[in-house]
Structure 1
């Protein structure tokens, strides 16, 4: 059964004075069925975080448009985007008074496969229906404590140092880049990229349930609205990208052709 792609990106400034998250979806200029989603949560003073996040998007678009699978693997492409954006962000520190940093989640969809990479605590989720298949691991102090079994999920969401990152773009240390992939793809596969301003208010089950039950646009709206309600006036920037694979509708001509056989 052929698949079609349903997508949505959405942002909300939350209770901050400035929107420093960035998100984008773009198709490859010459390869049908190949697209990229990228999300970045910028940090670093007035306009500094927004500038850092913008560099992630610019580098993602440049490298993706030059992608040639005959000479470059998806993993290499995604890692190069993050590492090169990291270098550009570091260089901007010499030409500005800010101390810019950013997270990054980069996702590439091709016919029959999906690949992703991330650095920081912005998250990537893969659901099949409402069931969680995989979720990125936060490069944060709290994430590390969870991996060591010293914090559970509930305690992590309310930890006072939840926003302390161990790896990000623009820092002195080289960014940690984690990878994932899925092949083959089936109808019901959904992929979610989001900043901590969204995932910090939901369990994995809540996010998966909303994405499975609703269209991409409706799910984004419901999740953002609920995050705003749960933030009690202290919400961070909220950003989300949702990519859903659904069965392509059967046309009348296709049904008639099948009936003739």
Structure 2
């Protein structure tokens, strides 16, 4: 039997120490299916106009596909993969007329009304799954240093400080097809927390720190705290920052399933 729970959520975005914002993040409820939620984060690259155009295309594609999605009949993994593939194609077409090569990462999660949760990502924007303060799982970056970590040549800590930590081996908008990695949580439980964020956020925290923050603070407080702390730790050299946090809480009195309570945090 599926436990009833409600979702408390917040998004945060800040341009950091950059002159312009290329990150974008959305968290939307399905218009026709109560309890169906999509979170998408995109970190655009390719100069002022290129990067923003790329992340724009990710958001536009995500909204269009989610609007047509039906959790009763459609395959959530197929929908998320299509999101990556279609956004990639449009970004490639945009590149033909653009002055600079537009690229973007994507990190997206879909929560169905039944409580199953599906992820897709390409690039180095991450999704984390916490149960309380404990990290259960996180995405593995499509990056040069992650490949070194996977081969045992670097530790996670060394990778974070590596001079080539920003080099991606795959994302949207490149000449080759983007890597598409998926993950599923069969059933979300009260106490679960999902967090998607760009490297401008996760670069400055250990999983233990992130788990402690999302467990002890509300999603809105956590987004504000993580943006402020990352800005401080960047010491004037920080990237754009974006994140979305969704926390599952048990329903005590109400019987409605998965009611979204959005609360935006951070400033552009």
TM-score range, shorter chain: over 0.9
Mapped to 1, the partners of 2:29 and 2:72 lie a distance apart of 19
Structure 1 runs (4+) deviating above 6 angstroms are none
Q: Give the corresponding residue for 1:257.
A: none
1:245 aligns with 2:248: yes
**C-alpha deviation, 1:45, in angstroms:** 1.3
Q: Contact 2:200/2:238 (CA < 8 Å) preserved in 1?
A: yes
Q: Deviations over 1:13-59 (max 9, x none)?
A: 11100010000011111111001000000000121101100110110
1:123 aligns with 2:126: yes
1:163 aligns with 2:166: yes
Q: Give the corresponding residue for 1:87.
A: 89
1:41 to 36, 40, 43: 43
Q: Give the corresponding residue for 1:7.
A: 9
**C-alpha deviation, 1:2, in angstroms:** 2.3
| TM-score, normalisation: structure 1 | 0.94
**C-alpha deviation, 1:73, in angstroms:** 1.0
Q: Contact 2:22/2:48 (CA < 8 Å) preserved in 1?
A: no
Q: Give the corresponding residue for 1:183.
A: 186
Q: Give the corresponding residue for 2:219.
A: 216
Mapped to 2, the partners of 1:208 and 1:94 lie a distance apart of 42
**C-alpha deviation, 1:185, in angstroms:** 1.5
Mapped to 2, the partners of 1:98 and 1:7 lie a distance apart of 35
Mapped to 2, the partners of 1:231 and 1:69 lie a distance apart of 41
2:141 to 138, 142, 146: 138
**C-alpha deviation, 1:249, in angstroms:** 4.0
1:66 aligns with 2:68: yes
Alpha carbons of 1:65 and 1:73: their partners in 2 closer, same or farther (altered >3 Å)? same
2:31 to 29, 44, 50: 29
**C-alpha deviation, 1:95, in angstroms:** 2.0
**C-alpha deviation, 1:70, in angstroms:** 5.1
1:149 aligns with 2:152: yes
| TM-score, normalisation: structure 2 | 0.91
Gaps of 5+ in 1: 252-261
Q: Give the corresponding residue for 1:258.
A: none
Which structure would you say has the larger Rg? Answer: 1
Mapped to 1, the partners of 2:177 and 2:89 lie a distance apart of 9
1:50 to 49, 52, 55: 52
Q: Contact 2:201/2:241 (CA < 8 Å) preserved in 1?
A: yes
**C-alpha deviation, 1:71, in angstroms:** 4.7
Q: Contact 2:71/2:112 (CA < 8 Å) preserved in 1?
A: no
Mapped to 1, the partners of 2:120 and 2:69 lie a distance apart of 16
> Paired residues, what number?
251
SS in structure 1 at match of 2:152: coil
SS in structure 2 at match of 1:246: strand
Mapped to 2, the partners of 1:82 and 1:125 lie a distance apart of 19
